[in-house]
Amino acid sequence: MGRRREARQAALQYHFWRDMQHGDSPEKMEDFWEFLPTKPRVREFAQPLIDGMNAHLAEIDERIRRYAENYEFRRIAAVDRNVLRLAIYEMLFRDDIPPVVSINEAIELAKKFGGAESGRFVNGILDRVRKELTRPAREAVVRNSAE
């Protein structure tokens, strides 16, 4: 498994844990990393995903509510909800990751950890998010080092 996929999986596990604790995070982040030991390179990509999802959780959850209009938010399976959170965070706030990559990775995570219909459900919601983006779906934004 690649470093980024492993990092996304760790971020998903963190937020699933947080969800199961009714929004409570581990007292110290090191407690989580002790529970889920990972290589430093994986943690280096996962930690900003975890922190970013935490920082933008209200906005991300609002998007999920809007796009999953026929589903009561709390009734969405916890795995699916957190896969959506991760992908929507990446699509909205990580312009260094092409949206289609975020979608594809989310579908794979949903298939691996979710139920029989999780991949299709996640794909449907994320496709709606992608259609509202103003940036290219298949390209990362390359930052000029002078910026």
- For 3-131, CATH number? 1.10.940.10
Res 20: pLDDT: 84
Q: Are 46 and 38 in contact (CB under 8 A)?
A: yes
d(CA 42, CA 119): 24
Give the tens place of pLDDT for each residue, 18-36: 888 776 666 778 888 888 8
Inter-CA distances, 129 with 19, 35, 53, 123, 144, Å: 22, 33, 16, 10, 27
Which residues, including other chains, have CB under 8 Å from residue 17's CB and lie 6 or more apart? 26, 32, 35
Res 142: pLDDT: 66
The alpha carbons of the chain give a radius of gyration, in whole angstroms, of 15
Which residues, including other chains, have CB under 8 Å from residue 22's CB and lie 6 or more apart? none
Res 67: pLDDT: 93
What are the strands, taking DSSP E only, across the chain?
A: none
Give the tens place of pLDDT for each residue, 44-94: 999 999 999 999 999 999 999 999 988 889 899 999 999 999 999 999 999
Res 24: pLDDT: 67
What are the domain boundaries of the chain?
Answer: 3-131
Res 109: pLDDT: 97
Res 146: pLDDT: 47
Give the tens place of pLDDT for each residue, 86-140: 999 999 999 999 999 999 999 999 999 999 999 999 999 999 999 999 887 888 8
Per-residue confidence at 147, pLDDT binned at 50, 70, 90?
Answer: very low
Res 27: pLDDT: 72
What stretch of H or E contains 65? Answer: helix 57-67
